Chains A and B, each alone.
Chain A
């Protein structure tokens, strides 16, 4: 049976299907369009398409290798730290330094990256996702003394409510008092994420785009005053996580329990782990990390991570040809006229199967790898909600995993601070080699991140990135398997095609970052026939 999309395009309106186009998807990072074909109130087909292409892999060529470590941060301004660390690990491996990073350097990198996890996750739930669940207009009736809420009330009284409206309507379930309280938390979360950025800058130099993570380690030195300074900004963020972020997730879960059944993904979860606890093993895929590396198949079978299993298909991507290759063998030849293509994102697959990445993947891989702190957190929340583990493969499961991971990382950071040794080295010395190859893998807030480099004549000959949202927002592959986000949306019941909040709630649970996924789309202005654009 041919695609509903193509039958619709051919003007066969008698399909009875409605096409929903959501462009732009807002409250994500970057440029994303979702197109869904809905028949009998259910999504039958989906296309996720990114709409911006810059071309990092192209313009990195020929540059001095160390510049890649600063330039790749500019792939994304929300998670640049992940790229700075992935690139540093990449160059470390190319320069023969993978097992030579001084402990101070390793720990400081973890603190810098950890602080960005806190910022990114808090930003995501409150400032990107929460407006899908919280009716902020309830604050117009606020009569209490919280000065943040009084400020928002005065703002609303002036009558210009942008950017809080327009918005989808029809499914806000909290009572007035809870809506008001959660709106207050939205404002307090602005302060919490700012504190996390400040904690990062203490050893990162500045944020966004830290200056200090570099091949060999880091440029900043731990001193006692900086350690204390970071600790007390961190502690204020931990207070926020414990008293607001985690409880608010549980509140959303209790008010919207159907979202444990909506947005179920492919059930295969991939993690490269994150936060090196051991700097001696040169194999990043095997060394001890705070979160474990692994590939969880079908939500139950954990396999050790094998990077040789990673391939990318370009069947439905705007590149010449129809190959499926490992990253180090890929070539990037744009072809926007390609008939079968609908996205500039390639389709990364693991062992030929669709795998999802992100906090859910990391928490569950660590859970199955037997990490007690993670097991305890997850079991505790499932117990509080009276829910089975399978429910985690869902919209709410992703949000819950992200919140728990935020707590897990924040608490770990407090203990890492005490492992720093002022006065000891922070960076290994090295020479840039003439010819070399490197690979760096790390967990970014949004999932598994890989950087690859080939150096020739002391210049970048090839630089490839396979980034989290490439996995999650990928198009169908050579076997026509839809990508993780597409799979999560297919089968969803849509109550009102004019207000398809169901789709947006699922999309935002993935925390997409399209600047990371690097892609574009060519529509050539084709006439699309009759459709609903919402």
Chain B
């Protein structure tokens, strides 16, 4: 009976994948664990799309192995699948002290820096997916004065002449749908074409519209009705909302199984998907200056 069932589901192609963690907080991984449909069991163990299974062989938070045998998995994946594995990267890449601000493992007696490991693994990957704002743009790990010399993955790869196709899936953390959706797009349609990504290499499917353009509180903004105190109804512009500068579908997708989102919960958007997050979007609770909003016809009193 079991054989009949698996035959009826068809043959499955395995897509090897490895996940590197640099200078970050693991929030991107934790967010992925919150995926609803497909859920994380589906992503890890099931063919997440019919006939296609993403075989995540290396992930420091969930993998059974540790130490050198774990590091060998990285090596073997690269050697056995040239141009055939997906490289997912969470966290920025510290470059201070030749990368020694972040070492991720020991291989043959050598402490492997995130920087060196990334360069080695990216060159032979089918594609690089940067999960989260730190890997995509530097994010909080790279905030001024950036003592660790943290850089984005794309910067480091460019410096090293690596041209592997790269997709940024930013967010602090990114919505699990953005991560799983991007992987699904690659599995279904292949690598993204020139129109699929925006200038910051983010999939337009998720990052194509401003928060401000889809915000349920937009009517308040247009009518000049602003919340003045924490918890008040109205537009959160005066409380610091960066929605007018931020490209993400949070207002319509909502977070955690459609339950809530930042602005809906009364908290101003802090622009966590943007290349400018956090330094150029601070202070978080100070309103955007009016010049940047002129095209929205801001009604001030």
Contact = CB atoms under 8 A, between A and B. Distances in A.
B51 to A, nearest CB: 12
B230 A217 contact: yes
Contact of A533 (B30, B106, B172): B106
Contacts of A54: 23, 94, 140-141, 147-148, 150
B103 to A, nearest CB: 4
A421 to B, nearest CB: 14
B87 to A, nearest CB: 15
B262 interface: yes
B45 A163 contact: no
A198 B45 contact: no
Given A22-B67, A131-B64, A51 B24 contact: no
19 contacts: A31-B103, A63-B283, A67-B285, A150-B2, A151-B45, A158-B14, A162-B73, A190-B40, A201-B257, A203-B265, A205-B261, A208-B30, A209-B172, A219-B265, A220-B231, A221-B231, A427-B229, A522-B100, A534-B68
Interface stretch (B54-62, B118-126, B180-188, B292-300): B54-62
Interface in B169-222: 172-173
Interface in B259-301: 259-262, 264-267, 270, 272, 278, 282-286
B177 to A, nearest CB: 12
- Which of under 10, 10 to 19, 20 to 34, or 35 or more describes the interface residues of B? 35 or more
Contact of A202 (B34, B260, B262): B260
Interface stretch (A76-84, A239-247, A248-256): A76-84
Contacts of A334: 147
A410 interface: no
A111 interface: no
B78 interface: no
B259 A201 contact: yes
A166 B65 contact: yes
A212 interface: yes
Contacts of B260: 201-202, 204-206, 220
Contacts of B172: 74, 209
A173 interface: no
Given A24-B70, A33-B103, A165-B65, 15 more contacts: A26-B60, A53-B148, A58-B147, A153-B2, A163-B58, A163-B65, A194-B40, A205-B265, A206-B262, A207-B34, A211-B262, A221-B266, A515-B25, A520-B101, A533-B109
B167 to A, nearest CB: 21
B143 interface: yes
Contacts of A152: 45
Nearest to A67: B284
A205 to B, nearest CB: 3
A331 to B, nearest CB: 14
A176 interface: no
- Which of under 10, 10 to 19, 20 to 34, or 35 or more describes the interface residues of A? 35 or more
A297 interface: no
Contact of A163 (B9, B64, B144, B146): B64
Given A77-B30, A191-B39, A197-B256, A59 B145 contact: yes
Given A27-B66, A59-B147, A533-B106, A207 B26 contact: no
Interface string A111-130: 00000000000010001100
Contact of A198 (B24, B25, B140, B259): B259
Contacts, number: 296
B25 A23 contact: no
Contacts of B108: 533
A215 to B, nearest CB: 9
A429 B262 contact: no
Contacts of A203: 265
B70 A26 contact: yes
A214 B29 CA distance: 25
B101 A162 contact: no
Interface of B: 2, 6, 9, 12, 14, 16, 21-31, 33-34, 36, 39-41, 44-46, 53, 55-73, 94, 97, 100-106, 108-111, 140-141, 143-148, 150, 172-173, 229-231, 255-257, 259-262, 264-267, 270, 272, 278, 282-286
A320 to B, nearest CB: 15
Given A67-B285, A220-B265, A163 B59 contact: yes
Q: Could you say which of A55, A123, A523, A527 has the most chain B C-beta atoms within 10 Å of its C-beta?
A: A55
A280 interface: no
Given A26-B65, A78-B30, A515-B26, A521 B256 contact: no
A155 B231 contact: no
Given A77-B30, A204-B265, A207-B255, A51 B104 contact: yes
A77 B55 contact: no
Interface in A57-100: 58-59, 63-64, 66-67, 70-71, 74-78, 80
Interface of A: 21-31, 33, 51-55, 58-59, 63-64, 66-67, 70-71, 74-78, 80, 123, 127-128, 131, 136, 148, 150-155, 157-158, 160, 162-168, 187, 190-191, 193-194, 197-198, 200-209, 211-212, 214, 216-221, 229, 334, 336, 425-427, 429, 504, 515, 520-525, 527-528, 531, 533-534
Q: Could you say which of B27, B57, B272 has the most chain A C-beta atoms within 10 Å of its C-beta?
A: B27
Contact of B256 (A63, A201, A212): A201
Contact of A80 (B25, B64, B106): B25
Contact of B66 (A25, A55, A158): A25
Given A77-B28, A77-B31, A158-B14, A205 B65 contact: no
B61 A211 contact: no
A533 B230 contact: no
A23 B266 contact: no
Contacts of A209: 27, 172-173, 272
Contacts of B16: 160, 162
B57 A163 contact: yes
Nearest to A150: B2
A148 B97 CA distance: 46
A58 B28 contact: no
Contact of A190 (B33, B106, B146): B33
B161 to A, nearest CB: 24
